[in-house]
Structure 1
Amino acid sequence: MNILHHAVLVKSVNITSVAKLLLDNLLRHVREHVASIGSLSTMTVATLLDPRFKTLGFLSRNKVQEAVRRLKSECTALIASSEASLPHPSDAGESTNNSSELWCLLDETVDQKRQSFNATADAILEVEQYLVEVNLRRHQDPLEYWHKQKHVYPYLYHMSQRFLCSPASSVPCKSVFSKAGRSSANEETAYNHKQ
């Protein structure tokens, strides 16, 4: 959306007042409709996971921060679920009396806290490291990038397979412009009926 907004502003230097009014209304309409799309979890995560866009696909810094929080949260959940499926070593040689049951409860609680903290820390590190990398050029293939980086960012790679099925760049624009096209077609039909 940010790229579209910039392109429209650059092209609108020498236009008539009627065209300027039409452009302002179009931009306002696009901003209103894209604002709701910008809060959809799948679209924001897909935009961040597209190494050509990352944070460049958002209009405001607040939306970027919200999307990054969402990505970190999704990544934390993925890490926690994958760690939960791993077997945990148990202390050998413990007796089964009441005092050892108390120690087992304490050990389990500590393990859960440690696991939760590690998952969050790992997610933050992986996401931040990915976001500071230089964006890919527009013509480069994001799926090829993720295939090459699957050992560097294993959890984000897994998430990219799930989220990049919805193109970060075309879905919001296509939706807005198809609505705009229907609206202008309706106005044209109404205008033709008046004549």
Structure 2
Amino acid sequence: MIERVLEQQRAISDVISADKKSRHLIPTWQDLEVLESVNQALHPLQDFTDALSGESYVSVSYVKPVLHLLKTSVLAEKEEDSDLTKSIKKKILEYLITTYENPATQEHLDMACFIDPRLKVSYISTDRVSDIKTRVMSEMEAVAQKERSSAEPEAQTNDPPNRPLKKAKKSLGSFFKAAPIPTSSFMHLSQAVEAELNSYLLSTAIDSEEDPLAWWKRHKITFPLLSKLARKYLCIPASSSPSERLFSTSGNIVTCQRTCLKPWRVNMLVFLTKNLP
């Protein structure tokens, strides 16, 4: 809005000056200077706002990199900035720091960055990396133990019936197949978790434009435990804009003329609206 006013200031002044009663509303040079200072501080944030509010794929893992970029580049004070511009930038940074200063929030953002193959430890402070690795390993072990405990009862209930089975014909490859080595004797759980984590950290970071969930889908066999943590953390959107758009879509479907729609039908219509090209 401010940018448009600055672009059309001459036309606005000509229109207002034509009426004697409204000539006092013509922007003065002080007003224009204030508008330019405000626009100079806020205009760079527009692109980040649009990007973070996207629906295609914007994960919470990108919040910390964006905050870092705002602090170091976008909202950094410049020599040519006016005092008002510097003050606005300073207030915005103070608000952002206060919003995300909670230790639990910081830890959650660090976990999301660590699981994102585009970022990993790039935006995690050096003194926090070891703590995040410890937490990731503990959650991986918890996932492995949960899978193991749920697999044991299933194996007991799926025992084959006590009846003679037809002997299968051996293939040529069966003569060269080695006997499976029990997992417990080959590698301890913590060692397996550490090996998977180190392998992930040594892998090449993907491009910032790629979808990390698509990458995890391709590598879920290579990193079976980490891929489950990726689904836990990377499914969180960076902002509430997608859910707000979803409520708006529901409001467009359930109108005054369509108040008798059943809930299940509303769910189907919203799903089709958001997923059909």
Q: Shorter-chain TM-score: which interval?
A: 0.5 to 0.7
From 74, 77, 91, the equivalent of 2:142 is 77
Aligned residues with identical type, % of pairs: 21
Deviation at 1:75, TM superposition (A): 0.5
Q: In structure 2, what is the Cα distance between the partners aligned to 1:159 and 1:47?
A: 12
The 3 A distance-change label for structure 1 pair 5 and 160 is closer
Which has more helix, going by share of residues? 1
Cα deviation, residue 141, structure 1: 1.2
The correspondence of residues 67-106 of structure 1 with structure 2, limited to 5 A, is 67-85=132-150
Asked if 1:28 corresponds to 2:91, the answer is no
Distance 1:133 1:24 in 2: 38
**Structure 1: 5+ residue runs without aligned partners?**
88-113, 175-195
1:54-73, aligned counterparts within 5 Å? 54-58=120-124, 60-73=125-138
Q: 1:9 to 1:18 in 2, by over 3 A?
A: farther
Over aligned residues, Cα RMSD in angstroms? 2.8
Which TM-score applies when normalising by structure 2? Answer: 0.44
Corresponding residue to 1:16 among 74, 82, 88: 82
Distance 1:15 1:64, change over 3 A: farther
Matched, 1:51 2:114: no
Q: Distance in 2 between matches of 1:149 and 1:33?
A: 35
C-alpha separation in 2, matches of 1:7 and 1:148: 33
> How far off its partner does 1:62 sit?
3.0
Structure 2: which 5+ residue stretches go unaligned? 1-63, 153-183, 242-277
Q: Quick one: which amino acid aligns to residue 123 of structure 1? A: V
Q: Which amino acid aligns with 1:162?
A: K
Larger Rg: 2
The superposition leaves residues 6-35 of structure 1 with CA deviations (integer Å, 9 ceiling, x where unpaired) of: 344323333223322332232233123212
Within-5 A mapping of 1:158-177: 158-167=228-237, 170-171=238-239
Select which of 38, 42, 55 maps to 2:106. Answer: 38
2:189 corresponds to 1:119: yes
- 1:143 maps to which residue? 213
